[in-house]
A and B are shown apart, each in its own frame.
Chain A
């Protein structure tokens, strides 16, 4: 589904990301871990064509993302709160995104209904602007908005951060259901090793912009990752 080809991003003389060959098959739940500055957000921004690659490029379902916009209808994302429109209510925001993704009001209402639990009665029908919601609740709205319109590729940057424990568990279930039918590709970045190993079939470790580990998740993965990151502490 997603393939990088000789991809790199440089700011002036600093190389921040080099991913020569990475291929993510359709329906995979893909986790990206790495310390701050490893290049996780840079990779996602490149994937969404928010920044320009210095060399190479990314193809999303055979479409080169920085050349054509044809990937947009089937790709959705939530990177940070800057994806929200502060002066709308949660419902209005969902309808707006729905409009952009060619969904009608009824479709959106159906979708929102299935997330009633997830919202925990704090968001819907509250007549509150998004800017007045707490960080965690804002995140919930952003994540659900990323699920509108049956996207084939979903990109979530740090989805577990700022969420309460109950919601974290619910979110993991949501992601698992999404990828169960092998239809939706989900890309997640996280600092929480337990969460990624729980939901992702494959985990890639980035370090200073390079891929240093590429693991298919199994019982040993968490241990493996913990060892990898604690090794750096000792040195």
Chain B
């Protein structure tokens, strides 16, 4: 049975048009994974000497255990945003003579083979080898490794429980953010010292291997919880069936002043407001606005002006990157209809463009209080906003012509993880890295004012050439019309 599932997965993956048409992206992803693994490996090798150097009096092993708590919550946070439960397209399997339990065990089993579960071991294994080399007790170190293995699996399954709970709320990242935040605060104010509890606990288990029964027990409980959740959800009338939603209608009359793009603008606003996927994206804007707070107050970044440009592009372009990269996939489920109607590509794209421009302006205004940390920040943010409006909006729409992955907005939230994940952020990299490079180099070789001016000039140039660029972009869309239609009518 498992063999058939694996062959199904394989075919689903390699026979989708997404894989075939995005070979370059997939190769890039693989290199990215390789690069991450190598850097983790490097960290694993270097960890022991590094700690020995920084804190010569303390035992590196104890130190590492002291940091485990931070790893746990960091890992959990990261998993929440990047790792998704590998639910096969279960619906067609339900009517086949396969036991439900087998399907669920398979889905859960597959999740434990995720890249995220191997990643920590690129650090843990070399570190353990070095520990043994430095005279630590072999059996203690092995037990430690084993405990961490169980812990990683626990994280794996805790994450899916959290994801399942959050899928029901609108601001889906709130539960995880409050959980991690609460744990962190309780710990840092020493109300409950998780750092100590975890480090003591793991050290204790490492010394008395029999105690590993405890985490194993927790692991099996977590697995069982996941099993129950999936089992309850694998019915046509619960997760897989849609629940009827009451409409919240507003006439959006004000969009009329945008002239002939008004119908599309209304459609886009409804798209964003009425689908869970897009709605939680809007909620994430809070994160984009607050992002600067991590860096601006920090004296370490005080003189790194080039870094301001990165934050500037990121914060003012947060919506642009998230929304823009799925143009025109947002409309993929009714793309055929749009293509048979009497519309102009330029009108269609202009509505998206207007929306992105408005978002950049609003985000710039929202981030303007950062002037508190220095006028340079405001100036850089302004330049970045202009750059976003003039350059990035056009680049991202041009990139949309190569979009071949359908987004099924109608799918229920609990299983709707399409198009989210690591790839989403990779596409953002050139959009953010390029202006940062330009700004950084100009700032380095000439000065700050010229660097700001260069970004503004590039942005203004883009705005001036807007009509021309739109013409080129819509031409590209037109030439890929048939390919897009056929890719968007595929489910995977």
Q: Measuring CB to CB, which residues of chain A are less than 8 angstroms from any residue of chain B?
A: 48-52, 69, 72-73, 75-77, 79, 82-89, 92, 96-97, 99-101, 127-129, 131-132
Partner of A92, one of B244, B249, B337, B482: B249
Residue of A whose beta carbon sits closest to that of B332: A82
Complex contacts, A97 vs chain B, CB 8 Å: 341
Docked Cα-Cα span, A52 to B410, in Å, equals 28
Instruction: Flag if B485 contacts A69 (CB, 8 Å).
Output: no
Chain B min CB distance to A51 (Å): 6
Q: Is B239 an interface residue (CB 8 A)?
A: no
Partner of B333, one of A51, A82, A96: A82
Complex contacts, B263 vs chain A, CB 8 Å: 96, 99-100
* A-B interface contact total, Cβ < 8 Å: 81
Q: Is B5 an interface residue (CB 8 A)?
A: no
User: Which chain B residues in 235-255 approach chain A with CB under 8 Å?
Assistant: 242, 244-247, 249
Complex contacts, B247 vs chain A, CB 8 Å: 89, 127-129
Chain A min CB distance to B377 (Å): 39
Instruction: Flag if A48 contacts B340 (CB, 8 Å).
Output: yes
Instruction: Flag if B409 contacts A50 (CB, 8 Å).
Output: no
Interface of B is mostly: helix
Partner of B244, one of A48, A51, A132: A132
With contacts A72-B342, A128-B244 taken as known, whether A82 is within 8 angstroms of B334 at the C-beta atoms is: yes
Instruction: Flag if A100 contacts B242 (CB, 8 Å).
Output: no
With contacts A128-B247, A129-B245, A132-B242 taken as known, whether A86 is within 8 angstroms of B410 at the C-beta atoms is: yes
Docked Cα-Cα span, A79 to B489, in Å, equals 13
Write the B327-359 contact mask toward A (1 if CB under 8 angstroms, else 0). 000000111110111110000000000000000
Complex contacts, B274 vs chain A, CB 8 Å: 87, 129
Instruction: Flag if A79 contacts B249 (CB, 8 Å).
Output: no
Instruction: Flag if B242 contacts A101 (CB, 8 Å).
Output: no
Docked Cα-Cα span, A59 to B337, in Å, equals 20
Q: Is B25 an interface residue (CB 8 A)?
A: no
Docked Cα-Cα span, A45 to B357, in Å, equals 36
Docked Cα-Cα span, A203 to B341, in Å, equals 27
Most buried by B among A49, A72, A83, A97: A83
Instruction: Flag if A72 contacts B245 (CB, 8 Å).
Output: no
Q: Is B270 an interface residue (CB 8 A)?
A: yes
Most buried by B among A49, A72, A76, A86: A86
User: Which chain B residues in 438-464 approach chain A with CB under 8 Å?
Assistant: none
Partner of B342, one of A83, A92, A96, A100: A100
Residue of A whose beta carbon sits closest to that of B338: A100
Complex contacts, A84 vs chain B, CB 8 Å: 334, 337
Q: Is B271 an interface residue (CB 8 A)?
A: yes
Chain A min CB distance to B142 (Å): 54
With contacts A96-B263, A100-B341, A129-B247 taken as known, whether A85 is within 8 angstroms of B334 at the C-beta atoms is: yes
Residue of B whose beta carbon sits closest to that of A86: B410
